[in-house]
Structures are given as structure tokens and as C-alpha cells.
Amino acid sequence: MTPISLEAMAASVPDGALVALPPDNSLPSVALARALIRRGAKNLRLLGVPVSGFATDILIGAGCVAEVQTSAVSLGEAGFAPRFTAALKAGRITVRDATCPAIHTMLQAAEKGVPFMPLRGLIGSDILANRPDWIVQQNPFGPPGDVIVLLPALSPEVAVFHAAMADSFGNVWLGRRRECATLAHASQRALVTVERVVEGNFLEDERLASGTINATYISAIAVAERGAQPVALLDEYGFDAAYVAEYARMAKTDAGFAEWLAREVFGQAAAAA
Amino acid sequence: MNFAPEELLAATLARLILDPTAHPARHIAVGAASPIPAAACWLVAKQGYPVRLSLLHKRSGNPFTEGTRELFDLTGQGRIDLFFLGGGQIDGQANLNLVGTGGWPGGGADGGVRFPGSFGSAFMYFMTHRTILFREEHSPRVLVDRVANISAPGVSAPGVFRRGHAQALVTGKCVFRFDPAAARFTLESLHPGETVDSVRAATGFDFDIGEVHETPPPTEAELALLRGSICDEMVETYPDFCGRVWGRSQAA
């Protein structure tokens, strides 16, 4: 698989697409989020797998997003996600709240090719009450009155994440963060940014194989060095707390966010990154 | 002995974890943005009690190889004994609101505040053997008579599968015990400087009064652990917290 450019990858995501993104502890591609902002993507429907972080907040702030389905949006120790909060207040986005295991379960159903999967919990929660697509049914194997929630399979049009490396065959290695493999399995296309492309085949190395996603699930690869930053990547680099704290401060206002965007996504600093 | 409020809270949570009348805490999971519960778990572990800690946000040495999906599968099977939850609002029946106030989903043009979201609470609260509720802010806006939205219910109707409930609610002012049969909290202990009246004035829900005592302070041995090896364990995940409470900055 020949890597494509980050900008070509961003161009391949159509406006309005259902795009799944992992959160800040699970290998988001902040590089592709920045490229989607530069290409002026519109009306994206984001899925937080299972919650949302920095990449989601900047996409919302830049006006790329119509809807978010997620179980939470947060900047971790830096607090609430300011552009998410502002867009919700202004009525610019629709939010469909889920709860973390429900998102995993809907993806696992898609991964298995079955139409739905059950999940315990949820009954009596207003999250369920606000999800007409989730239904409560009698457990067909249980005693009368044992009800359980059924969740529809969910197959995102595009999964986007950042991995440490790809090999000559387009296999992708992401260490222990194998929840991204479920995401790739469940999605119609997986777009993966990587730190580097290396010679060889990870699937022929017993120690790498278990942290590898087979190229059959990968639609495209682009090299983006430090492509998760300011978020951490495995043991390669840490979370840049000072950067995110500065973002959280600036993005409290429309003007501050615009200034941040000009500097960090469209500016010289961004071009050099 | 001087101690920070965070140290008192960590020691208090650790005692609740070790409560011999509660379901044994062999495997504890700690979720996002929870430095004080994480410190409490470390305090239990560093005192030599046999407990497995799964800290979701630990970067190096993260316990899971399938991310949080694995946490929820473990919990679904009943393999997680204890979890911590909080809420933007908590009411007198231990209902939690982590989503927001105002019209669903909170924080819209009609007013109200949006909280980050439910995370896994609508599942974990049912499927963990016990939950300790923790919220530092103890005020009428947080501890309300009735939550605006129920993200995770404190009790469930008969027949709904539910493995556990809240054991207690720990705040910056006191410890409440929760009785799921009565769906009510009972005041159990007061942190230094608090009275039944000061707690009542700051609490939006009605509660019962037990044999109220002062919350025991952390011991010197507990403080030494918190300030030493526990801070070492936590600084990668919670640099701001470790800097603020213990004056520690992370090595590059």
C-alpha cells in the first residue's frame, strides 16, 4: 500500500460523512482533524469511540460538524471542551448522547455482521429514553420480566485514527490500543495516519502481530509525524498538557478560538508541523 | 499534623474501600479525571492489601489491551468489584446526572449547563458490585432534591438486572451512607469544621442522621505514602493534581 498525502486523505472524506474518532487516550489522528479543517469539511457527523476529546472540539469549533454521537466530550485535566459547549449553546450542533459500552457494543455488532446486540444496564436512564433507536425487549432466554436493551449495529463510513507505524503491506501497528482494531473492523473505510512506514511485514513477527491491524481493514495510510500531538502516542511521546491548557483558555471565546486556529491550523507553525 | 483536604478525602475513600461489611474489593477500576479516587486505591494497595487496580487512563503499563471496551466486558461479567462515579448533579435517591441541565441534552439555547457526558455510568452503576460516589463540591447546586436528567439511576425497579448500588457518597464536607432499600442517604461523618447544620444548609436533598462522628484524619503513615510513592505513581496521569497538592512536577 502506497501512502497518500495527508491532504489527499482529508479530501477523501466527503462532507456529511459519519466519521468515527477515538478519544485522547486512544490514538486520535489530530493531524487528520487539522487537515479536515484546512480542507473546509462540512456537516461531518462525528462518533466518539466511546468518548470525544481534543480533535472533536477543534473540528466543532472550525464549523466542520453537524452532529456528535458520543458518551462524553472532555479535555481531561484541562476541563470542559469549550467549542463543543459553545456550539451546543448556539444550537449549531446536534448531540446524541450514548454511554460508553453502548458505542463499543454497536461497533461489535457491526464487526460480527449481526443486526443488533444486547447490553445490560441503561434501563431507567434518560439516555435510553432519548434514544428511540435503542429498544427494550424481554430476554428470550431469561425468566419472564427479565428485560434487556437491544442496540443496532453501527458501521461508520470512515474510521480515523493514528498509529505508530505501517509496514510495506499496509498493515498497521498500534500496540495495546486494540480497540481501534474493532473500530477498523466495523467501519466501511479506515484512514490511518502513522509516524512512519517501515520495511517488512508485521504479521510475520510474533511479537508485533498481536498489536497489528491487517491491511484488509485499512483503506489508506498517510505519514504524519507527531500526528497525535498534543495527545500522547503509546510510549513514543506524552500528552502535552500545557498546549491543551492554552487551547482550553483561548477557545473559551470565539475570537480566542479564531486566533488559535489561525496560528495552529492555518499558520506557519501548522505548516511546519 | 497538617494535611490537605485532598489527602483527607483519599484516606476517607480508602477506608470505605476496605469496609469489611461491603462486597470485597478485589478488583477496582478507576475512570477518567479521578485523581483522588486513584490516590485512595493506591493507598489501599501500598498498605499491602491484595487488590488489583485497573487505572483506565494510565498511559505506560495500561492494564487493558482492548481499551475501555475490555473494562466494560469485565464489568458485564461481574469481575469489577468497585468503581467510582460522580456527577454534575446527585440527588437524594443517588440518581446521577452527568449530562446536563435544561432541555435534553443540556446546555442548549433554553439555558442550563452541559456537563461532559455520561461516560460509562449508565452501565457501570448497575453492573459493578458496589460504587462509591465522590464529588468534592458539596453545594445545593450539585446535591439536589431531584436531578434534572437521570444519566444513571440510583435504584432500579424490581426485575431489572442490577448487581450493585452506591455504597456511600463522599464530598468535601462529609460522608453519607446509601441504603438502596430505602433509596436514602444517611449522614455518617463530618469532615473537620463541619456540623450537621452546615451540611444540611449545603445539601439540596433530605437525608437521615446516623451516629455522626468526625471523619478520621489521615495517619502519618498514610500521608507519607500519599506524598511519596503514590505521588510517584500518579504524576504521569495527573500532573496538574500532583503539582497542586504535592508540589511535584513531572520529570521530562
Write out chain A in H/E/C secondary structure. CCCECHHHHHHCCCCCCEEEECCCCCCCCHHHHHHHHHCCCCCEEEEECCCECHHHHHHHHCCCEEEEEECCEECHHHCECHHHHHHHHCCCCEEEECCHHHHHHHHHHHHHCCCEEEECCCCCCHHHHCCCCCEEEECCCCCCCCEEEEEECCCCCEEEEEEEEECCCCCEECCCCCHHHHHHHHCCEEEEEEEEECCCCHHHCHHHHCCEECHHHCCEEEECCCCCCCCCECCCECCCHHHHHHHHHHCCCHHHHHHHHHHHCCCHHHHHC
- Chain A residues touching B60 at Cβ < 8 A: 235
Alpha-carbon gap, residue A254 to A258, rounded angstroms:
6
- Which of A131, A148, A48, A69 lies closest to B123 in space, CA to CA? A148
Alpha-carbon gap, residue B252 to B241, rounded angstroms:
17
Q: Is B95 within a domain?
A: yes
Contact A25 B56 (CB under 8 A): yes
Q: Of A71, A91, A148, which has the smallest distance from its Cβ to B118's Cβ?
A: A71
Average pLDDT over residues B51-59: 88
Confidence of residue B198 (pLDDT cuts 50, 70, 90): very high
What confidence score (pLDDT) does residue B237 get?
86
Is it the case that residue B31 has pLDDT exceeding 90?
no
Distance in Å, alpha carbon of A98 to nearest chain B alpha carbon: 7
Could you list the residue range(s) of the whole structural domain that residue B41 is in? 5-246
Taking CA–CA distances from B152, the nearest residue in chain A reads: A125
Buried-state track B137-163, b at ≥16 Cβ within 10 A, e below 16: ebeeebbbeebbbbbbbbbbeeebebb
The reply to whether B181 touches chain A by the CB within 8 Å rule is no
Cell numbers standing for residue A207: 511479537
Contact A99 B125 (CB under 8 A): no
Q: What residues contact residue A189 under an 8 Å CB cut-off, 6+ apart?
A: A157, A158, A159, A219, A220
Which letter does DSSP use for residue B154 in this model? S
Q: What is the pLDDT of residues B120-174, one digit of tens each?
A: 999 999 999 999 999 999 999 999 999 999 999 999 999 899 999 999 999 999 9
Q: How many CA atoms lie within 13 A of B176 on its CB side?
A: 32
Alpha-carbon gap, residue A42 to A257, rounded angstroms:
18
Contact A85 B107 (CB under 8 A): yes
The reply to whether B116 touches chain A by the CB within 8 Å rule is yes
Show which of residues 194-233 on chain B sit within 8 Å of chain A, judged by CB atoms.
none
What confidence score (pLDDT) does residue A269 get?
56
Q: Is B251 within a domain?
A: no
Contact A124 B153 (CB under 8 A): yes
Q: Is B177 within a domain?
A: yes
How many Å is the maximal CA-CA distance in chain B?
Answer: 53
What confidence score (pLDDT) does residue B252 get?
43
User: Is the bond preceding residue B105 a cis peptide, omega within 30 degrees?
Assistant: yes
- Which of A77, A29, A21 lies closest to A51 in space, CA to CA? A21
Helix, strand, or coil here: B106?
Answer: coil
Contact A80 B65 (CB under 8 A): no
Q: Of A76, A89, A210, which has the smallest distance from its Cβ to B32's Cβ?
A: A76
* pTM of the complete model: 0.95
Helix, strand, or coil here: B123?
Answer: helix
Taking CA–CA distances from B120, the nearest residue in chain A reads: A100
User: Is the bond preceding residue A50 a cis peptide, omega within 30 degrees?
Assistant: yes
Confidence of residue B251 (pLDDT cuts 50, 70, 90): low
What confidence score (pLDDT) does residue B1 get?
74
- In percent, the amount of chain B with pLDDT more than 90 equals 88
Cell numbers standing for residue A242: 500545557
Contact B120 A50 (CB under 8 A): yes
What confidence score (pLDDT) does residue B80 get?
97
The reply to whether B183 touches chain A by the CB within 8 Å rule is no
Q: Of A25, A88, A234, which has the smallest distance from its Cβ to B114's Cβ?
A: A88
Q: Is B93 within a domain?
A: yes
Contact B160 A26 (CB under 8 A): no
| CATH at residue B177 | 3.40.1080.10
Is it the case that residue B206 has pLDDT exceeding 90?
yes
Show which of residues 121-140 on chain B sit within 8 Å of chain A, judged by CB atoms.
121-127
Q: Is B229 within a domain?
A: yes
Q: Is B252 within a domain?
A: no
Distance in Å, alpha carbon of A7 to nearest chain B alpha carbon: 29
Spell out the domains of chain A, with CATH numbers in brackets. Answer: 6-99+154-272 (3.40.1080.10), 116-152 (no CATH)
Helix, strand, or coil here: B193?
Answer: coil
User: Which of B70, B72, B235 would you mutate first to test chain A, the one with the most A CBs within 10 A?
Assistant: B72
What confidence score (pLDDT) does residue A273 get?
52
Q: Is B150 within a domain?
A: yes
ipTM over 0.90: yes
Q: What residues contact residue A161 under an 8 Å CB cut-off, 6+ apart?
A: A21, A22, A26, A27, A28, A29, A174, A180, A183, A184, A190, A192, A193
Average pLDDT over residues B112-117: 95
- In percent, the amount of chain B with pLDDT more than 70 equals 99
Residue written as grid cell 485522547 = A24
| pLDDT tens-place values along chain A, 273 residues long | 899 999 999 999 999 999 999 999 899 999 999 999 999 999 999 999 999 999 999 999 999 999 999 999 999 888 999 999 999 999 999 999 999 999 999 999 999 999 999 999 999 999 999 999 999 999 999 999 999 999 999 999 999 999 999 999 999 999 999 999 999 999 999 999 999 999 999 999 999 999 999 999 999 999 999 999 999 999 999 999 899 999 999 999 999 999 999 999 999 655 555
**Phi first, then psi: what are they for A68, rounded to 5°?**
-130, 125
Q: How many domains does chain B have?
A: 1
Average pLDDT over residues B1-16: 96
Q: How many CA atoms lie within 13 A of A43 on its CB side?
A: 4
Alpha-carbon gap, residue A262 to B22, rounded angstroms:
55
User: Is the bond preceding residue B24 a cis peptide, omega within 30 degrees?
Assistant: no
Q: Of A80, A97, A232, which has the smallest distance from its Cβ to B118's Cβ?
A: A97
Q: Of A91, A119, A123, which has the smallest distance from its Cβ to B156's Cβ?
A: A123
Distance in Å, alpha carbon of B168 to nearest chain A alpha carbon: 20
Alpha-carbon gap, residue B62 to B60, rounded angstroms:
6
